[in-house]
Amino acid sequence: MDFLGSVVFLCLFSIAFCHESMEMDLDPDLLPRPLVIEFSESRLKNLTDDIVMQCTSWRVAVEANNLGPWKTIPHECADYVKDYMLGRSYNVDLEKVSKESENYAKSLELGGDGMDAWVFDIDETLISNLPYYSDHGYGLEVFNNVQFDKWIHEGVAPAIKPSFKLYEEVLRLGYKIILLTGRNEDKRNVTVTNLTHAGYQKWDKLILRGENDHEKSASVFKSEKRKEITEEGFRIVGNSGDQWSDLAGTTTASRSFKLSNPMYHIP
Ligand SMILES: [Mg+2]
């Protein structure tokens, strides 16, 4: 670099440094921030960057409904899913969905005839079976309906707080609340007890699988029930569920909101 080049370089360096210093003086938000967020309790530190990236990619594919039917989470993602469910990420994702749903519910003008309805799924939407799944590998084990039914009959699944907030807001706004679940009719009493203990005190309909619904996929069953609901005159303006089979199919809601759930897939 010749003399003139050196002078130009030093001038530019001084201007840049001076400019940055001025900004830092004026705006403390521009102070350097850590580039790495520290999760001291995270299990991800035991995973390679590639595994974390592959498992994140898999989880995004789950949420975007891009995967075919699957029975268990990938074995290499066991720690990743556990970390996601127990760390802050799961709750932050649920809070985001709840807030967006609430904004949408508030933005609508209700018909005034009491027929605007919001449909909620129950499991992993209003109440959480995470205590059960924490004993069963967070989706690593093949689903065992006998063991799961035992857990259901305890009736102690806690409320999912962001969903409870949405439920209260939707109720306050005057929507009819319709609970549509893949649980069988023989679990009606324990479901009501569980929901009540979790804080859900009021709804207009609770629809479970009847005798003729056992062989149907969740998607077909729920589509049929939504059709019946609309034939009664309800307008399904919102639908919240943790499975695409809660939301997709036919007679869908005006808007559907997918809650995160990387632990299992129900077609
Ligand atoms: Mg569910």
The pLDDT tens digits for 94-133 are 999 999 999 999 999 999 999 999 999 999 999 999 999 9
124 CA from centroid of ligand 1 (Å): 5
The predicted structure's pLDDT at residue 44: 82
pTM score, two decimals?
A: 0.84
Q: Residue by residue, what is the 3-state secondary structure of 83-144? A: HHHHCHHHHHHHHHHHHHHHHHHHHCCCCCCCCEEEEECCECCCECCHHHHHCCHHHCCCCC
Residue 117: count other Cβ atoms within 10 Å of its Cβ: 24
Residues with beta carbon < 5 A to ion ligand 1?
121, 123-125, 242
213 CA from centroid of ligand 1 (Å): 17
Cα separation, 139 vs 265, in Å, equals 9
Residue 232: count other Cβ atoms within 10 Å of its Cβ: 9
The pLDDT tens digits for 132-186 are 999 999 999 999 999 999 999 999 999 999 999 999 999 999 999 999 999 999 9
The predicted structure's pLDDT at residue 146: 97
The predicted structure's pLDDT at residue 13: 41
187 CA from centroid of ligand 1 (Å): 15
42 CA from centroid of ligand 1 (Å): 27
Task: Categorize the per-residue pLDDT at 18 as very low, low, confident or very high, splitting at 50, 70 and 90.
Answer: very low
Half-sphere exposure of 5 (CA within 13 A, CB side): 2
Superfamily of domain 44-258: HAD superfamily/HAD-like (3.40.50.1000)
The pLDDT tens digits for 181-200 are 999 999 999 999 999 999 99
Q: Which of 42, 23, 41 is nearest to 32 (CA)?
A: 23
User: 57: Cβ–Cβ under 8 A, 6 or more apart, which residues?
Assistant: none
The pLDDT tens digits for 65-76 are 999 999 999 999
Q: Where are the domains of the chain?
A: 1-33, 44-258
Q: The dihedral of CA 106, 107, 112, 116: what is its sign?
A: negative
